[in-house]
Amino acid sequence: MVHVFGPANAPGTSALQLPDVVMELGQRFVDAGHELSLVGGPVRDLFLGRVSPDLDFTSDADPDAIIAVIRKWADSFWEIGRDFGTIGMRKGDYTIEVTTYRADAYDADSRKPQVAFGTSLEDDLFRRDFTMNAMALRLPSLELVDPYGGVRDLHAGMVRTPGEPSASFSDDPLRMLRAARFASQLKVSVAPEVAGAMTDMAERIEIISAERVRDELVKLVNGKDPRAGIDLLVETGLAAHVLPEVAALKLEIDEHHRHKDVYQHSLTVLEQACELETDDDGAVPGPDFVLRFAALMHDVGKPATRRFEPSGAVSFRHHDAVGAKLTAKRMKKLRFDNDTIKAVSRLVELHMRFYGYGEAGWTDSAVRRYVTDAGPLLERLHRLTRSDVTTRNRRKAERLAFAYDDLEQRIAALKEQEQLDSVRPDLDGQRIMSLLGIKPGPVVGRAYKFLLDERMENGPQEPEVAEKKLLEWWSRQPESATLPEES
């Protein structure tokens, strides 16, 4: 590890650390007659006191020259990004990319650049997204190149672009989402001119692929301050294009204040869910996208279900079920995988289930169903439900917390007695078919469901008891009179 002690033009820095491979690679390029600089995120991260395992470099060398320099040095290399001037490689534990200086031009209707190689490091830095990412360390001299004030903006906690924000976002509209992502990840603010350009150009995000939008959203939601990132998307109008269901919460205004601000409530639930992630017991280690996104989306069904009652009260009946469908639909459009879609939408669907317990208490049967319906999402559901309490009425908050403490204690006691994580009927499918003399088909499914309901209602039973109940159920089914008896 190489220590870099405060470059003269880098105010406020102390000892910065660079992996040895950085200096080795820089020396190889210089010995071959080329320039090499560490650039972008890795340089920014040095000023934040961290070292990234992914190292990005830029050089005046073209792809052929890059390969000639690193062929015998790298453990392996690949040319997938060759058309864009990028050669990737592995050296020890590090993933490295070296890219030829770029001077790209963009089509107004596409974010795909017309690739053109450049000859100047400063020009290459100018085409980058933000000033904090437009810094470089020349190697092996370790001279800091910061022509656009990246260190200044990083210390000020401000996101700015090297040139005009409108030109930068026109070139690559995804940069608008990155600005919101940095607000979340780095807990920085966006300069007024950047926020203004994001607002004016929000609709240009439509030309970006759903997959790339999804990836930025995941990073934003998993950041240190996701509330700030989401709020920026909503305030600039970007959310209307990428998360319109959340933007709609902002528009859900009740001028008579008959219900709470659903938008601010949702952001608070998101914050509280983040605080309940637990690394110590490993139950829901953070950042957990499924829990966080469910917290953000849990009330998106409210605008469609809001009703003003004759009494003057407002209701949102079935907003949990409607919200689950809206969440799944949005996530499909963003090209999330099926498992993540099912997990998030299921949590949205279940987030109101607990309130029946708080109001009237539950039988053991209801507790079993709660656990079974949540399945592997139970720990996340615990945290989502607790996060959903944002009332300023301390007595009400304490009452709900006490009720949920009681529910968790009952779940723990029943789990110890009955292995609730794998609740099954007391008879399996083979025994059902043998006892009733039937073949595989819908009738077996109905019998299985009957026994599962019995198990939920009464807990585990002896096989003889379950068989007797099954035969009694069977005697009431129309098929029992038409199917031949088992010989």
pLDDT of residue 423: 65
Q: pLDDT tens digit string along 294-330?
A: 999 999 999 999 888 887 788 888 999 999 999 999 9
Amino acid type, 177: L
Q: Rounded to whole angstroms, how far apart are CA atoms 162 and 288?
A: 33
Write 480-485 long-range contacts (CB < 8 A, 24+): 480/436, 483/436, 483/437, 483/438, 484/437, 485/437
Distances (CA, A) of 328 to 171, 342, 343, 459: 31, 7, 10, 33
> pTM for the full model?
0.81
pLDDT of residue 468: 86
pLDDT of residue 222: 97
Q: CB-hemisphere CA count at 13 Å for 136?
A: 25
Six token digits for residue 451: 């026994």
Amino acid type, 130: F
Given a contact cutoff of 8 angstroms between Cβ atoms, the answer to whether 125 and 134 are in contact is yes
pLDDT of residue 281: 62
Q: Rounded to whole angstroms, how far apart are CA atoms 192 and 158?
A: 10
Domain architecture of the chain: domains with CATH: 2-156 (3.30.460.10), 162-242 (1.10.110.30), 267-423 (no CATH), 427-481 (no CATH)
Sign of the Cα pseudo-torsion (185, 232, 215, 244, in order): positive
Q: Rounded to whole angstroms, how far apart are CA atoms 338 and 437?
A: 38
62: phi then psi, degrees, rounded to nearest 5: -80, 170
pLDDT of residue 25: 96
pLDDT of residue 421: 56
pLDDT of residue 12: 43
36: phi then psi, degrees, rounded to nearest 5: -150, 135
pLDDT of residue 195: 98
pLDDT of residue 11: 43
Where are any strands of DSSP class E within 319-426?
A: none
Given a contact cutoff of 8 angstroms between Cβ atoms, the answer to whether 182 and 159 are in contact is yes
Given a contact cutoff of 8 angstroms between Cβ atoms, the answer to whether 113 and 106 are in contact is yes
Q: Rounded to whole angstroms, how far apart are CA atoms 95 and 134?
A: 20
Torsion of CA 306, 309, 315, 321, to 10 degrees: -70
412: phi then psi, degrees, rounded to nearest 5: -60, -40
Distances (CA, A) of 17 to 4, 24, 26, 44: 6, 14, 15, 12
Residue-level pLDDT, tens digit, the chain, 487 residues: 555 544 444 444 444 678 899 999 999 999 999 999 999 999 999 888 877 778 999 999 999 999 999 999 999 999 998 988 999 999 998 999 999 998 765 565 655 666 678 889 999 999 999 999 999 999 999 999 999 999 999 999 999 999 999 999 998 999 999 999 999 999 999 999 999 999 999 999 999 999 999 999 999 999 999 999 999 999 999 999 999 999 999 866 555 444 568 999 999 999 999 999 986 667 899 899 999 999 999 999 999 998 888 877 888 889 999 999 999 999 999 999 999 999 999 999 999 988 877 566 688 888 888 888 898 999 999 999 999 998 888 888 888 888 888 888 888 888 776 665 556 777 888 888 888 888 888 888 888 888 888 777 777 788 888 888 888 888 888 877 665 544 3
